[in-house]
Amino acid sequence: MPATVKVIKKPRRTIAEQAYVPEVAKGISFAARRFFKNTFGPTAKKEIDTVKYPEEKREYPERFRGIHRLTQRFDGSPRCVACLCCSTACPAQCIYIEAAEYEPDDPRYGYERYPAVFMIDELRCIFCGYCVEACPCDAIRMDTGMHMPPSTSRDHFLYDKETLLSIPGKDGTYLTANPRHEPGDPSHPGIDRERGH
Amino acid sequence: MTTEVLLLSSILKIVFVLVVTVGAFAPVLIWAERRQSAMIQDRLGPSRAAIVLPPSAVAFIDKARLPMWRGFALTGIVAIVALVAVTWVAVRGTNPLPIPTATLTKALIGFGAASVLLRIGYGVHGMIVRNQGKVMVLGLLHPLADALKFIFKEDFVPPKSDKFLFAAGPIIALIPAIAAFAVIPFASTLHLDHWNQVLPRTGEVAGTIIPMQVASLDVGILFIFAVASTGIIGAAISGYASDNKFSLLGGIRAASQMVSYEVVLGLTLVPAFMVYRSLRLEDMAMWQHEHSWGIFNPLLALGFIMFFTAAIAETKRVPFDLPEGESELVGGYLTEYSGMKFGMFFMGEFVEVVALGAIAAILFFGAWDVPFLYRDGFDFRLPFMASGIVVPLAHWIVIAIQVLFFLLKIVVFIWFQLMIRWSLPRFRYDQLMKLCWKGLLPLSLLNILLMGVFILSGVLDKYVGLLDRL
Ligand code: SF4
Ligand code: SF4
């Protein structure tokens, strides 16, 4: 059986295309129409995409990652238990934590630790959000919706524990929606380092 | 004409030319080019440069809001009342009012102008307050910011370059571009002694005559060609002196391209000289004023298209910007230039754009000629009308309108050149040369031949006569 060969003609230019001038006129008229529409046309018909930034702001998506905050417990202390999960997960290695024990008479003693120093270098941070993913206690969040305030000094970008605790979330709260079960609460499982599982 | 008048008027004209080209057109063009391209591409372009007012000034301006609005409303009402009164008096023919008509007219003009100004002020003021005290003027401050940047930037000179030629390059590129404006007429001749009178439409007028161009040379357009071709040296020298291979290549390209197109540029205009029978630009403008614009002549229209193509190649702009060709040559002969030296090249290029617009307007679009405007004012008359609507105007107003229209034509041509710059892709170098030597050159020679035939056979005279009657 002979194969049927489909012959595709080589595209040829017409004389009008070869003469260049009509094509030039076509191109210029297209660009000109665009120009007139965007410059002198009615505002509704303009298609300008530019956002005049400081005066106009584009709304960020709901899960936008702003600067970090440390969430608080009901008594205002940090939820963070200094487990170092976030600083381990951080690809930029910009979280520095010094863990400390609670006092022995504290109900949390032996159950969890707290961060004596919690420092994030926001200039090094790449805003990947891995720290938030890693945290088992919902203690670190990036739901502030804020940019870093600009500054001329690098020191101003080292956010310490107090600063991070003082930044509210987008909804204005310092807490999170996840409830916490403090030692001594009826809902608390009552397991700690000494008594074990 | 006394020497003082001659000297003073010459200086004034030179200042006018400099202010219009270097002072106004070139900087605005730098802005317009970016802005126009942005608008084509659905962007806003440079519009952010601003002078920031202190908050106290903003608060003060904000206080002026209500008074301004009230002033606008009050003056507006007075102006409208005056308008009604003036129309009423004009319709009735007599004036029974206690106020004389002249006062009424003055009140109309004065209060009307005040009202309009206050309204504009109100709008501007609103814009400033809305932008938190930033005065942005549509981004027109960008050229200013650019200039500041150019001046304070490091003036880098390549260590092994030829220092003298390196510095001379931009100057040689900029000066001829400006010098070309010396022979360009901005309006018809100014009769200084009768500046505030209505002149007769035709005929000689006694008294001092000032031509509205810096120098009235017999060689006219040839002077422009001669001066413009010096620009080649600027580009070539800077390419050579920069001690950079890319620069050298750019300089060579610029030189060969400009020399080639120089030939075509002259030849495409020869039919126009044949029709106007003069090389003086003011005579060409006068011919078109008395007969019809050159573009209505089909052969000249063809010549115009070819001239425009060649001229864009001559100014080395897209689609013929191979000497710069940043995708192949970094920046061509501009590679090593920075700061104000680069700025001078830039200025030179934009002044050339303006000059090209001016030449195209003079040769093909009637220069300062305004439809229906004669030396004694407007006369709107169409072929089928028995008598026209005549508006006599004083001589200086006629001249001012002519200058304005000429500038307007230049603006249109500049706009068109920017459109071309942002619409067309770059040529290849062999295509560029082919277009010149195998396309435009034979065509323009043919055009000259055809024009000669038309003139000798008398067809042209008949055609011009036909257009005259319209
Ligand atoms: S967002 Fe990423 S880079 Fe920034 S602190 Fe968290 S883990 Fe590190
Ligand atoms: S913020 Fe979360 S992950 Fe980081 S140390 Fe505290 S508890 Fe652990």
A87 C-alpha to ligand 2 centroid (Å): 8
Confidence (pLDDT) at B185: 84
pLDDT tens by residue, B166-208: 888 888 888 888 888 888 888 777 777 777 777 777 767 777 7
Supply the residue whose CA is at minimum distance from atom 2 of ligand 2.
Answer: A135
Domain range summary for chain A, segments of one domain joined by +: 13-49, 69-165
Chain A closest CA to B320's CA: distance in Å?
14
Statement: residue A134 has pLDDT above 90: yes
Tokens of B52: 């920031």
pLDDT, tens digit (0-9, with 9 covering 90-100), for B356-373: 888 888 888 887 887 777
A47 touches chain B (CB under 8 A): yes
B424 neighbourhood in chain A, CB within 8 Å: 24, 27-28
∠ at Cα A94 (A90, A98), nearest 5°? 95
Report whether residue A90 contacts ligand 2, using a CB cutoff of 6 Å: no
CA B106 to chain A, closest CA, distance in angstroms equals 35
Determine the distance from the C-alpha atom of residue A73 to the mean position of all C-alpha atoms in its chain, rounded to a whole number: 23
Length of chain B (residues): 470
Residue A197 reports pLDDT greater than 60:
no
Q: Enumerate residues 13 to 42 of chain A having a beta carbon within 8 A of any beta carbon in chain B.
A: 21, 24, 27-28, 30-32, 34-35, 38-39
Closest atom of ligand 2 to A135 CA is 3
Sign of the four-CA dihedral B222, B227, B230, B231: negative
Decide whether any atom of ligand 2 lies within 6 Å of the A135 Cβ: yes
Q: Which of A36, A38, A46 to probe the B interface (max B CBs under 10 A)? A: A38
pLDDT at res. B388? 63
pLDDT band, very low/low/confident/very high, at A132 (cuts 50, 70, 90): very high
Each of the 470 residues of chain B gets a pLDDT tens digit; together they read 577 877 888 888 888 888 887 777 777 888 888 888 888 888 887 877 777 777 787 777 777 777 888 888 888 888 888 788 777 777 776 767 777 767 777 777 788 888 888 888 777 777 777 777 777 777 778 888 888 888 888 888 888 888 888 888 888 888 888 888 888 888 777 777 777 777 777 767 777 777 777 777 788 888 888 888 888 888 888 888 888 888 888 888 888 888 888 888 888 888 888 888 888 888 888 888 877 787 888 888 888 888 988 888 888 887 888 888 777 888 788 888 888 888 888 888 888 888 888 888 888 888 788 777 777 777 776 666 666 667 777 777 788 888 888 888 888 888 888 888 888 888 888 888 888 898 889 989 999 998 888 888 877 777 777 776 66
Residues B354, B409 contacting (CB under 8 angstroms): no
Closest CA of chain A from B434, distance in Å: 14
Q: Give the per-residue pLDDT at A92.
A: 93
For residue A72, the cross-strand partners are A78
The ipTM assigned to this model is 0.70
Length of chain A: 197
What separation in Å is there between the alpha carbon of A125 and the centre of ligand 1? 5
**In whole angstroms, what is the distance from residue B411 CA to residue B25 CA?**
9
Q: What is the pTM of this model?
A: 0.74
Number of Cβ pairs < 8 A linking chain A and chain B? 44
Residue B456, Cα to own-chain centre: how many angstroms? 36
Torsion A23-A28-A31-A33 (CA) sign: negative
Q: Which residue's structure tokens are 């730098």?
A: B30
| A50 and chain B in contact, CB less than 8 A | yes
**Alpha carbon of B125 to those of B18, B52, B61, B68, B140: distances in Å?**
32, 14, 7, 9, 17
Residue B296 structure tokens? 């209505």
Give every CB contact of residue A182 below 8 A, 6+ residues apart in sequence: A73, A74, A107, A108, A188
Domain A69-165 belongs to what topology? Alpha-Beta Plaits (3.30.70)
Q: How far is CA B329 from CA A195, B44, B82, B213, B332, in A?
A: 76, 29, 66, 40, 5
- Can the peptide bond before residue A107 be classed as cis, meaning omega within 30 degrees of 0? no
Chain B hits for A32, Cβ within 8 Å: 419
Does B419 contact A24 at a Cβ distance shorter than 8 Å?
Answer: no
Look up tokens 């040559």; give the residue.
Answer: B329
